[in-house]
Structure formats: structure tokens, C-alpha cells
């Protein structure tokens, strides 16, 4: 079980920005690599789980909760990696910082971790729970980065609004 590989990674502070309020590429590269590494670890974990799931019999409730939490984990990792790719585009001058500040390029999925965890979270595998916690920590740090670089949320993307409406009906 991989524990804490990503725990304790520092957060961006004002010292990690230049005089113009831009982020230092070295800090962003390190954070991006952390997100990619975690994504690959989680993908490998899911692959191992798929192979072993056929051998194990679990209750419908546990299986459903695992599927929901897996979707939350995957969605948040995709949002984080996408956000970092936009920042790389800003660094490469392929997109302007003002364009990157538009809601469609901002960190999405903000309500994913705001939703309560499954009632049977404690019954899930320790490795899976660890990945969820690491992903949540990474997401929260990127959320703070997004706010530091671009301020509070702009008008919400209609697709995000629609997804939130779907999650509220559950």
C-alpha cells in the first residue's frame, strides 16, 4: 500500500509567485508531476481492482459506494490535470492569463468533494481511502492556487451548473 507519497507536499505561497503575480514554472511543474504520478497510481490501483473484483463477492451497497467514490476520485484528478495543462499553456504563451481566468478554463468540479462521503466509507479498502484522501488534498491545494492566480469564481459554466443540478437530485 502506498501511503503518504503525496502527503506533506508544500502549498504555493506568495513566495512562489513572481513580482507580477505569476506562478513560478518550477513550482507548477513539480505540482503537475505530483498530479500525474497520483493519476497513474490510481489508474494502476483501479486496474488491479478490476482484476480482483471478479474473485471477490461484495454487497451491492459496498460496490455502489465504491463506484461513486471512484467516479469522484477520477473526476477530480481529471479536473486537476486539466487545470495544470491550462497553466502550462499560459507558460508557453499558447493562452493568455486573462483567457485562462475564464470560468471554462478554471478548476471545475468544486462540489465533488463537498458532497458527503459514502456511509460505508470506513469499510472501504485502506489503499482506496488513502487515494481518496490524497486526491482531495491535491484538489484543495489546486483550488487555492486557482484562487490565488485568478481570484474568486467568475460566472459559472452552464455545463458545470447542469452537472450540479444532477447531483442535487440524488
Q: What is the arithmetic mean of pLDDT over 50-56?
A: 68
Q: CA-to-CA distance for 146 and 139, rounded, in angstroms?
A: 10
Task: Please name the residues in contact with 90: beta carbons below 8 A apart, sequence gap of 6 or more.
Answer: 96, 97, 100
Query: What is the topology classification, in CATH, of domain 23-53+77-168?
Result: Helicase, Ruva Protein; domain 3 (1.10.8)
pTM for the whole thing? 0.73
Taking only the tens place, the pLDDT of each residue in 3-24 is 334 444 444 444 444 544 555 6
CA 122 vs. chain centroid, Å, equals 21
8-state DSSP, 24: P
Which contacts qualify for 94-100: CB closer than 8 Å, 24 or more apart?
97/22, 97/149, 100/150
Task: Assess whether pLDDT exceeds 90 at residue 157.
Answer: no
- Which one, of 155, 163, 17, 10, lies nearest residue 87 by Cα? 17
Task: Please name the residues in contact with 121: beta carbons below 8 A apart, sequence gap of 6 or more.
Answer: 65, 69, 129
Taking only the tens place, the pLDDT of each residue in 106-122 is 999 888 777 778 788 88
Least confident among 63-67, 88-92, 164-168:
164-168
Task: Please name the residues in contact with 157: beta carbons below 8 A apart, sequence gap of 6 or more.
Answer: 103, 104, 108
Amino acid at each position: 500500500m502506498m501511503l503518504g507519497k503525496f502527503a506533506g507536499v508544500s502549498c504555493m505561497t506568495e513566495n512562489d509567485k513572481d513580482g507580477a503575480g505569476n506562478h513560478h514554472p518550477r513550482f507548477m511543474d513539480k505540482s503537475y508531476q505530483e498530479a500525474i504520478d497520483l493519476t497513474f497510481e490510481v489508474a494502476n490501483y483501479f486496474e488491479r481492482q478490476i482484476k480482483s473484483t471478479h474473485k471477490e463477492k461484495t454487497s451491492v451497497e459496498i460496490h455502489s459506494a465504491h463506484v461513486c467514490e471512484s467516479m469522484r476520485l477520477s473526476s477530480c484528478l481529471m479536473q486537476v490535470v486539466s487545470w495544470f495543462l491550462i497553466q502550462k499553456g499560459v507558460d508557453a504563451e499558447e493562452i493568455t492569463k486573462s483567457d485562462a481566468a475564464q470560468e471554462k478554463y478554471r478548476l471545475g468540479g468544486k462540489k465533488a468533494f463537498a458532497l458527503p462521503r459514502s456511509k460505508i466509507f470506513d469499510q472501504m479498502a485502506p489503499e482506496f481511502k488513502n487515494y481518496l484522501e490524497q486526491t482531495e488534498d491535491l484538489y484543495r491545494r489546486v483550488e487555492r492556487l486557482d484562487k490565488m492566480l485568478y481570484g474568486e469564481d467568475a460566472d459559472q459554466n452552464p455545463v458545470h451548473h447542469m452537472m450540479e443540478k444532477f447531483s442535487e437530485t440524488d
